[in-house]
Amino acid sequence: MLTPKQLQSLPKPLTDIYSELSDFLLQDIALRISKAAKITDTAEYQMYRARALGMSTDAIKKEIARINGVAEEKIAELIAQVAEQSDEFDRKMLGASGGVPLAENTQLQKLMAAQIEQTRGLCTNLTGTLGFAQRTADGRMIYGSATDFLRKQMDMAQMKVMTGVCDYNTAVRQACFALADSGLRTIYYASGHSDRIEVAVRRALMTSVSQLTQKISEQNAAEFGANGWEISAHMGARPSHAVYQGRQYPNSQYETIVLPLITDYNCRHSAYPIIMGVTKPAYTDEQLAALDPPPFTYEGRRYTAYEAQQQMRKMERAMRRQKDRCVVADAVGDKDAFTAASIKLRRQKDYYEDFCKAAGTYTEYERTFVAGYNRQLAAKTGAVTRKQNAFKNAQITLTNSGNGGIIKPKVDFIKDYADIDKALMEKVGFDMIEPSFASIDPKLAITNVNQLIKLEQKFGVIHKSTGSICAINSGTSTVAYTSVKITCPSSQNLSLCPKFYRNKKDHRKTAILDRNCKHAMPFAEKYADVYTVTHEYGHMLQNLLVEEEMIAKGWLKSTPRMFVKNAGTKKQRLKWYTDIFDDVEKKCFDEIIEIAKQRDKNFSYNKCISRYGNSSKAEFFAEVFANAQTGNPNALGKAMNIWLKRKGLIE
């Protein structure tokens, strides 16, 4: 048998080889798309298209042949290594000497040769159905060959630029992100399923290894008179396996317990033959009980060792996708996209390292390997993030008065009413200040603008939006409101109703009364002037999240009404848009509630939410956001802050 540690590291040399193939295709296709998007003449484009498709197909076939050739040698080497290690381990555990050496065991040599050919054949077949996956606007996943994907993305990018739907950089960036987010896949057309090529190759190798080591152990058991089996043990085993690991079982339980466990999907356990009552167990009961570290809590969620490992795998997959984005952005020379991908990758790494530290385990950066993300590219990424950090450091000041020398972000607040218009345009990011805004109490205007400056420095929502700020009444009890264009959620305007903003003293009194009667969420009294504007900022943040989801489903900002239907009522015509608003609001609600429940088993939603926050899921988000940002967060406000960090919306 092989130890869990050996099984974990075994596939890497082979998957790294196929990672080279993945990056070759990503860069090749990205470059051809970027060239196609520059051609505006139809006849010239058709000539380039035919030539590019032919050249790309030939280049892909040539690279696949090269990779499969390299892989054939590596497969033979790995399986021979596995057989030797497995045989040696079994003999050692049985205390056996003599017998037929592996090199002279004709039956096992034939089995090894058969497993080598089987694995080679599987890997070759996997490269025969390579392609990419893409989600359509209606949520379906569609698959296509590499050539089909190239043809479709070239046509789409060239058409977008030629017709003015978007500029060259945007068209190429959209195509490249679709390319990177899919990754090179092997497609099982019969089932409609696909796997990244590295995952499929790993599975093919591990299946052969499992079959080979099992046969070697079974033959050693028969040859040396073993009458039982011991299952290996490792930290972080899935709960259904952990109860069996490290234990010894007689031959009568081999078919019912041992074999089903070691052949289970993605299992790192192995079993080796023993002599019951003679072979000393590798672990005592006390050692097995202490194999997993105790559960820990991170950002309000409790993790077992198994759950921590699953979370680490999820983070590692996200980093691989981000590295793919760096690779394709660099290939086409898109500096802005490369900078954005590099910064996000750095944040993912920081979060990953922080999580591993909390879990008391080591990082496993080898699992984030992407062949095209070489030292040169990693150095460029490092330079980008260092420049970003230098920019941040230039904006912070070290103050020693009353804060123990803590470094705090420098927020450039305004003090004079005369500076309001400039601050709203430049520091907050509004496109226009409507004349009605002048009707607001000057002192209230200053405190609310400063709160917007503070929030904007933290979240950057208004700079990512288009719209104005005004002071227009709406209804009898509305204090402020955000109006949003449903077909383009980043087009949003903020209004502070003058009825409630003409007098600072009355405004504070109303806000505190709303808090005390639980119409509003708890807040520290010093935030009474700005609680409502913070609530509205929460709406604006969620509207941007809605737009991100619309983009993921195929919506383009250049043609915002592209999914408006031509028939039925207005509600029916806009159903595509309203459904996404509803989905995002529900998802945010569910995730924040789940965090609150994980942090406190006695959590009570009704005790924590305000009456206004309970009126809809959109108001829930805005109310909880305001609670989180105004100095006195309850269980929901604390859950919101954790959620914002997990989503990468704050650092």
Distance CA 430, CA 462 (A): 6
In degrees, rounded to 5, the angle at the alpha carbon of residue 561 between the alpha carbons of residues 555 and 566 is 120
- Coil, strand or helix: which one is 519? coil
Q: Mean pLDDT for each 10-residue chunk of the chain (651 residues)? A: 64 77 76 73 70 72 82 84 78 67 75 82 78 65 73 77 71 75 70 74 78 81 86 88 91 89 81 88 89 84 89 88 87 80 84 88 83 81 69 42 41 85 87 86 94 91 88 87 92 93 93 94 95 97 92 79 80 88 95 93 94 96 97 94 88 56
State the sign of the Cα–Cα–Cα–Cα dihedral 423, 427, 433, 436: negative
Alpha helices in 526-615 (DSSP H): 531-552, 570-573, 575-599, 605-608
Q: Answer yes or no: are the C-beta atoms of 3 and 194 closer than 8 Å.
A: no
Give every CB contact of residue 399 below 8 A, 6+ residues apart in sequence: 405, 406, 408
Residue 12's pLDDT is what?
75
Supply the DSSP symbol for 466. B
Phi and psi at residue 485, to the nearest 5° = -85, 115
Supply the DSSP symbol for 502. S
Tokens of 106: 């004709």
Distance CA 74, CA 285 (A): 40
Residue 605's pLDDT is what?
95
Give every CB contact of residue 637 below 8 A, 6+ residues apart in sequence: 521, 522, 624, 627, 628
Residue 641's pLDDT is what?
94
Tokens of 588: 């945010």
Residue 647's pLDDT is what?
85
Residue 417, amino acid:
Y
Residue 495's pLDDT is what?
95
In degrees, rounded to 5, the angle at the alpha carbon of residue 281 between the alpha carbons of residues 278 and 287 is 155
Q: Answer yes or no: are the C-beta atoms of 50 and 32 closer than 8 Å.
A: no
Query: Which residue's structure tokens are 């100095």?
Result: 631
Distances (CA, A) of 604 to 230, 359, 596, 601: 47, 28, 9, 9
Per residue in 197-228, pLDDT (tens digit) is 777 777 777 777 777 888 888 888 888 888 99
pTM listed for this prediction:
0.54
What is the distance of C-alpha 357 from the center of its chain? 20
